[in-house]
Structures are given as C-alpha cells and as structure tokens.
Amino acid sequence: MTHFAKPKLPSAKASTAKHTKKKVNTEGLWTKCPISGEIIFNKDLEANFMVVPKSGYHFPIGCRERIASMTDEGSFEEFDANVKSADPLKFVDSAAYPDRIKKYEKASGLPEAVICGSARIGGIALSLAVMDFRFCGGAMGAAVGEKITRAIERAVKKKTPCIIVSASAGARMQEGIYSLMQMAKTSAALGRLAAAKLPFISILTDPTTGGVSASFATLGDVILAEPGAMIGFAGPRVIKETTKQTLPAGFQTAEFLLKHGLVDQIVSRLEMKDRLTSLLQALHEHKYRAHKVATAVPFPATAVATAG
C-alpha cells in the first residue's frame, strides 16, 4: 500500500557531496618570505611596495611601482617612450632578437628595460631613470643607453639633479659592441653633468652587475643601495675560477660594499623617498649658498683700503 511506503532517504554519497566544503584555489594569493618563512598576503605585500613587513626582505618591484613609491604623487612625466631596441647585428640564437624583444614587451608591459622622465621628490624637480629587470634582465642595449643619456642631458639642460635606479644583469649580448659603447656614452654624459656642478644620485638594486655596474651605476656623487642587493661585475663562479681564490662570504652584497666604502648608505625601499628628500634638500641648500657667495658684490678696493 502506498500510504505506508517508507520515505526515500538521500544516499550517503549524495549527502557527503552536499556537505563537502568547496575547495578554494589560493594559488597566487600568498607569498613566502625566503628569509623568515613568513607567509604574506600578496595584496598586503604590494601595498608595502614588495617589502616583507617583519624580515624587511625586498622582493623585486616593477619600475612604474618604484616610481610611484619614490616621487611626489602625480609629478612624474615620461619622456622618450618611443626609443626602442633595433637589431643592428641581425642576431639569432635559439630565437631571433626581434622576437625576443616582443616577448619581453608582452611579459613586462614595458617598451624597454628603462623608463625615463622628469619628476619631483620633496618638491624638488629632477630627471629620473628607473631600470626594470623584467625586460631582458635589465640588460643595457643601445636603446637603454640612449634613454639614460638623454635623461642625464635633460638634467643638464634644466639644471636639475639626476637620479638613476639600476637593476641589470649587464650589457645586452644581442647588440654586441653597440651595447658596450653605452658604458662610455653614459659615463661621458655624467661627466658633463658633473662639469655643470649638478648632483647625480645612483640607487643600486638587486641585481646591479656587468656593464651597468662598471659604468654609470657606480659613478654617483651619492650611491645608495637597497638591503641585500647583489652588486658586482662578474658572477662569483667566474671570479673564483679566474682568481683561484676562496671568496669572502657575501662579498657582492650591498652590506659588504658598504663596509668597504663602495656604497654610501643602505636604504630600505620604504624609507627611500624620505632619504632622497633629505639629500636633495641638503644639496639644494648647498647650491643656493654657493650661488649667493659666487654672485655677491665684492667690496670696492678703495673701500677696503679706507677701512684698513
């Protein structure tokens, strides 16, 4: 009889499926600090300019994000965005050089390995160039050298300080001698900046190596470095094989170079804007005082004789 039929109960399988918690994909939401093992929510890390709050470890940061962290809000104006790499040697290894350039552009969202322009820090106008390791390892080719040279020349023309932030594996092998020529080109431009008695502040980040470290990066009137940054010319393995000597521990770190006088200060990314503001204000005040002394009207000779 249907009136006394047992009610149909859900199967165990169906019941389990109903109450099973839905799995949430957390991949890409968290990052582990390589020093402390701390797990940081990516949005918090980005808000802290990619610096781990507790350990102070500095993860890489994009050049546009770095510019935002350093400069007065809304003050940056980009120049020379149309200067891009050519292929003078028609270089091909496992891929054609132009194809590699397109790949770098797509991966980084940048037209080249450096972004240049004018900005203000602490209200003081300056010329700025910031390299980005995501584009071809920050390697310096003819386009990078040209953009940095123009940034220096812009500082000379406008009579402002120049700041360059380096992040590079060195010269770009696909451009051969054209790349190596940029070492002399940028250094000569800095010579003209020095002749105009305008300051150059160089900021070294991880890594700053090869032809970049052997040219403009280490020619600063003031050289700052981020904590833990690798700074050097050749890699440790190459140096060890060449010199046949055991190398000191951490000899290519910012801390080692500070100890041996090759870096002036190590500055956290979180403190960089304030430190640059202090330096620029001090340099600006020094320039102002020097200008007053140079333009002061001297006492007439007769007045000096009378006073004597």
- pLDDT for res 173: 94
Low-confidence ranges of the chain (pLDDT < 70): 1-27, 287-308
In sequence order, the 6+-apart residues with CB closer than 8 A to the CB of 149 are 182, 185, 186, 189
- pLDDT for res 308: 36
- pLDDT for res 237: 86
Residue 117 CB coordination number (10 Å): 20
107 residue type, one letter: A
- pLDDT for res 27: 61
Condensed to tens digits (0 to 9), the pLDDT of residues 273-295 reads 999 999 999 998 776 566 555 55
The C-alpha atoms of residue 260 and residue 255 are separated, in whole angstroms, by 9
- The domain locations on the chain are 63-292
The C-alpha atoms of residue 243 and residue 68 are separated, in whole angstroms, by 42
CB 85 within 8 A of CB 141: yes
Q: What is the pTM of this model?
A: 0.85
- pLDDT for res 294: 59
Q: Please, what CATH class does the domain formed by 63-292 belong to?
A: alpha beta
CB 125 within 8 A of CB 160: yes
